[in-house]
Structure 1
Amino acid sequence: MGPVTGAGASAARMLRAPRAKQAAPPSSRENGGFIRKRVYRAAAPARREISAFPGARPTPLLRSKAVALLPRPKQLSMKRFAALSFSVLTAFGCAQAQPTTYTVGSTTLTLSPLATGLDTPWELLWGPDNYLWMTERYGRISRVDPGTGQVQPLLTIADVTETGESGLLGMAVVPSVTTQSPPLYYVFVVYNYTDAGTLKEKLVRYQYTAATGLTSPQIILGNLPAAAIHSGSRLLVLPDNTLLMTSGDAANTSLAQNPQALNGKVLRLNVDGTVPADNPTPGSLVYTLGHRNPQGLVRVPATGRVYSSEHGANSDDEINLIQPGRNYGWPTVEGFCNLPAEQTFCQANNVREPLVAWTPPRAVAGLTYYNHPAVPEWNNSLLLVSLKDGALTYLPLSASGEQVSRQADVWAGTYGRLRAICVSPQGRVYLGTSNRDGRGNPASTDDRILVLENRAYQPTATTAATRLTWSVYPNPLPAESAALQLPPLPAGGVLSLLDGRGRRVWTAPLAAQQKQLTLPATTPGLYLVQLRLPDGEELRARLLRQ
């Protein structure tokens, strides 16, 4: 095995009796076993009943490994239940001819197809250019018009190796701080490739403009061990312009607890691949360890907390709160620390238990955060999609973000396997099916991007104006001036100034309708003005200080 290349190289459930751990099979747990890609099985239509009453639809409870009728004091006992009552005639992966409606509390949501004929969308995100950005596992990167659904292919990466679960995976799109027109974006992607017959993984950065497309690929991190299963990998750019990258254990459980290995980890690196000076271990990219196969990654703007979704083996899919330097237990600990050997390991190794764990597992996948008036019932909630269950699940967070108070499925199984999810600034939820990944039952229109929206929602005039006219002036800002003019903004926002390296040099809260802000003395140069609105939306504008 060659060295890692790039500059960065230098658990609430019902409980049952203790049992012996089941050995994890040498196969994927995305649906309970490994199925070679492009082998499909037909499925006959079946009538599915989903009820708001917990007893009406027997679904797996959140379970653990020891019997107790009461939950442990520090955990909440939760039961999975469906959030609404309806019947649909469906087959896994079947397209819905007409938009379908769902009721969440007093809000009516409409689900409709946006784009069809795709092949295993892996990543789906809302870009800074107000387009959807998508990766498909076989190697294609595209932009998708959120209004028309038109897919604009940008690049098919020639050296992507798609095998098993591996291929083109996570992506992040970041605006540069240059003032060029058209705007320049940096696009980070993780994918698997073959080197001398060996499967590996790398992180690559592209440059994108509307005029040139994707160009100038640069390997940021390469030569990571990989396998046909447990490749991860999601990407998340933090406000300080560092990058989080999840990595699976590459079917080698010993790597997850090895602090020298980059597999089975959440990594944190600067966007050039170097090691951030404030990482938990100096000189190491390792941010957290003890992971099996993290599949979702999201940050809550208001609290700064980062959450991940992760596949278990034969039990204990997890939602984790990611904290620097913590150990998440795999392979010694599955789910909560509630077996004697697990408790010993957890006490000795700074293990962070999950917020939620599911047994049987449901193959949790994409994860995002929702906090928008379009669906007030979902405010301050995680939204999760799953592959095996084909469910969209919402999980309200406590005010501190340290707990999940309950959970509810909006649907389960209706559209087949679900892998990707993101939210637009308008409160719409976009989902990507994964029915052509070799484990689903694709319809002729699969795979698809679906959009779930409250069509009755109308943003307030102030909110709409803010999102449409956001800018700062004068720009350039003369050397003799320190007054920055702003559009009318709602109270509770926070304005930050980032320098050309992405470092936060100044921040200030905003009062209601504040139209002017006095900046501190800064050296001449290009800055990024970052506005975080009370609903969690982030807006950015470039500012040249003369």
Structure 2
Amino acid sequence: MKLLRNALLALGTLGLPLAACAQAPALTTFAVGTTTVTASALASNLATIWELVWGPDNFIWVTERSGRISRVNPATGQVLPLLTIADVTESNESGLLGMAIDATPTGQPAGTYGVFVVYNYTDQGTLKEKLVRYSYTNGTLSNPVVLLGNIVATTNHSGSRLLLLPDRTLLMTTGDALVASEAQSRTSLNGKILRLNFDGTIPANNPTAGSAIYTLGHRNPQGLVRLPDGRIYSSEHGPNNDDEINKIEAGRNYGWPNVEGFCDLPAEATFCTANNVREPLTVWTPTIAPAGLTYYDHPAIPGWRGSLLLAVLKDHKLTQLTLDAAGLTIPSRTDFLTGFGRLRAICVSPAGKVYIGTSNRDGRGNPAATDDRILTLENRAYVPTATRPATGFSFDIFPNPARRQATVQLSAPGGLLTLSDLLGRPVYAVRPTSSTATLDLAGLRPGTYLVQADGAAGRSTRKLVVE
């Protein structure tokens, strides 16, 4: 059966596969500092790519706005369709939107994932939006469960990105559905970032008891990312001015429609003071239509380390947003990768490659013959080196196995501690102020993790078992 299944997978491509283990032809190259980054096409002939997620199976998971969910082999470009959701309504900006994957759903065997998607559908002639969880096993998506539905929608301003948090809650962005005042209404789910448990219930520690609202005052947020240290950022479309990058904080108000961008007009300043408004970190006027947002911190492209990477629709570019040490300001913005049209989705592999989905068939672009495409950005000269403890640089973890917390004893103070899963995806980070640090493990799934210590003397890694 395994041989048969592998043969079927090899034949089941609807994209443009590349020869296995061969490098794709370079479409362009560009410099990031002293590093040459090569852009190539991984897969082609897709239609309005909306989401890219690096999956726990080391495949790229992709949504297309028409309703199709697929897995893409990052070595060959082979597109393996999983499901086309029958009740997706694609019209203008509406359709199948964000996706997130739970690699370890409660009570399920290894290799079974929870797959969350958000999409627009039609209910008795009215367009709406809902959040649905599927179960993935053995190449099949099944058992859809509606976690949240009946959200007011139009063909514009639906959001919607999903983000899974380590405490097994999720964030979901919603747009204002072209009714700007709804963004400030606490009885409406529009113009918000919502927080739910994985089963769709409302977390007991949400900002307002019994309410799914995590933040309010959003116009149309289309990017959402969490850094290893827990900071969360979003990208948001403005009207004809003030596209925004926001730092998301529980319970805060982000101003729309009373505030556009910064609190820099008298009426805006008054509203901001009275309503706990969090100003954006940076804005764009004229607007650029910011979309997918990710965080890059890999040695393959050193010039991007510690930065946000933003996929941009209207201005057809990839933008690097540097962060200060506290993550409270964006000191610089640098643009790359023009010439490929509208860019909407972005993800990073554990190997430090960046994958970008174009959105030129969304009715607002000028598609090339092979659009839409998944592009690979990589440093082809990068050779990973094995992680070895530096002489005189080590650390201990106790207890190990651990439950709610573990103590790290370093041989020298300072540096950075990063907790990652076995796929190399960071889930937690802390900068110790002394030679002893405490890791907060509450909310982490039981399993084996890697603790990496970086300091002036080098790098060292140890395994940590969480019970």
TM-score of the superposition, structure 1-length normalised?
A: 0.70
Larger radius of gyration: 1
Q: 1:453 aligns with which of 378, 381, 387?
A: 378
Q: 2:342 aligns with which of 411, 417, 428?
A: 417
Equivalent residue for 1:111? 39
| Percentage identity across paired residues of the two chains | 64
Equivalent residue for 1:60? none
Per-residue Cα deviation, 1:13-40 (whole angstroms, up to 9, x for no partner)? xxxxxxxxxxxxxxxxxxxxxxxxxxxx
The size of the alignment, in residue pairs, is 415
Superposed displacement of residue 278, structure 1: 1.1
Equivalent residue for 2:264? 338
Superposed displacement of residue 277, structure 1: 1.2
| C-alpha contact (below 8 Å) 2:449/2:465 kept by paired residues | no
Q: Which runs of 5+ in 1 are unaligned?
A: 1-95, 464-476, 483-490, 498-503, 511-518
Equivalent residue for 2:101? 173
Q: 1:277 aligns with which of 189, 197, 204?
A: 204
Equivalent residue for 1:310? 236
Using a 3 Å threshold, how does the CA distance of structure 1 residues 495 and 279 change in structure 2: closer, same or farther?
same
Measured in 2, the distance between the counterparts of 1:336 and 1:508 equals 30
Using a 3 Å threshold, how does the CA distance of structure 1 residues 495 and 102 change in structure 2: closer, same or farther?
closer
The 4+ residue runs of structure 1 with deviation greater than 2 A are 96-99, 177-182, 491-497, 506-510, 526-535, 541-545
Measured in 2, the distance between the counterparts of 1:533 and 1:274 equals 35
Q: Which runs of 5+ in 2 are unaligned?
A: 1-23, 389-400, 407-414, 422-426, 433-438, 455-460
Equivalent residue for 1:438? 363
Measured in 2, the distance between the counterparts of 1:98 and 1:530 equals 36
Equivalent residue for 2:411? none
| C-alpha contact (below 8 Å) 1:270/1:276 kept by paired residues | yes
Measured in 2, the distance between the counterparts of 1:388 and 1:379 equals 25
1:206 aligns with 2:134: yes
What RMSD, in angstroms, separates the aligned Cα atoms of the two structures? 3.7
Equivalent residue for 2:294? 368
Superposed displacement of residue 411, structure 1: 3.1
Using a 3 Å threshold, how does the CA distance of structure 1 residues 542 and 124 change in structure 2: closer, same or farther?
farther
Using a 3 Å threshold, how does the CA distance of structure 1 residues 531 and 245 change in structure 2: closer, same or farther?
farther
1:299 aligns with 2:226: yes
| C-alpha contact (below 8 Å) 2:39/2:375 kept by paired residues | yes
Using a 3 Å threshold, how does the CA distance of structure 1 residues 384 and 257 change in structure 2: closer, same or farther?
same
Measured in 2, the distance between the counterparts of 1:534 and 1:419 equals 34
Measured in 2, the distance between the counterparts of 1:508 and 1:368 equals 19
For residue 342 of structure 1, give the secondary structure of its aligned residue in structure 2: helix
Superposed displacement of residue 350, structure 1: 0.6
Amino acid across the alignment from 1:127 = G
Equivalent residue for 1:256? 183
Per-residue Cα deviation, 1:441-467 (whole angstroms, up to 9, x for no partner)? 11110000000000111111128xxxx
For residue 387 of structure 2, give the secondary structure of its aligned residue in structure 1: helix
| C-alpha contact (below 8 Å) 2:288/2:314 kept by paired residues | yes
| C-alpha contact (below 8 Å) 2:449/2:466 kept by paired residues | no
| C-alpha contact (below 8 Å) 1:496/1:508 kept by paired residues | no
Equivalent residue for 2:114? 186
Measured in 1, the distance between the counterparts of 2:464 and 2:129 equals 34
For residue 268 of structure 2, give the secondary structure of its aligned residue in structure 1: helix
Per-residue Cα deviation, 1:120-172 (whole angstroms, up to 9, x for no partner)? 01000111111101000000001111111101100000000001101000000
Measured in 1, the distance between the counterparts of 2:36 and 2:75 equals 20
Equivalent residue for 1:247? 174
Q: 2:148 aligns with which of 205, 208, 221?
A: 221
Using a 3 Å threshold, how does the CA distance of structure 1 residues 207 and 332 change in structure 2: closer, same or farther?
same
For residue 128 of structure 1, give the secondary structure of its aligned residue in structure 2: coil
Q: 2:327 aligns with which of 380, 401, 413?
A: 401
Equivalent residue for 1:49? none
Amino acid across the alignment from 2:48 = T
1:131 aligns with 2:56: no
Using a 3 Å threshold, how does the CA distance of structure 1 residues 151 and 341 change in structure 2: closer, same or farther?
same
Superposed displacement of residue 111, structure 1: 0.4
For residue 314 of structure 1, give the secondary structure of its aligned residue in structure 2: coil
Measured in 1, the distance between the counterparts of 2:105 and 2:257 equals 42
Per-residue Cα deviation, 1:266-311 (whole angstroms, up to 9, x for no partner)? 011111111111111111110000000001000110x211000000
User: Which protein is richer in strand relative to its size?
Assistant: 2
Measured in 2, the distance between the counterparts of 1:456 and 1:433 equals 25
Equivalent residue for 2:76? 148
Measured in 2, the distance between the counterparts of 1:542 and 1:408 equals 38
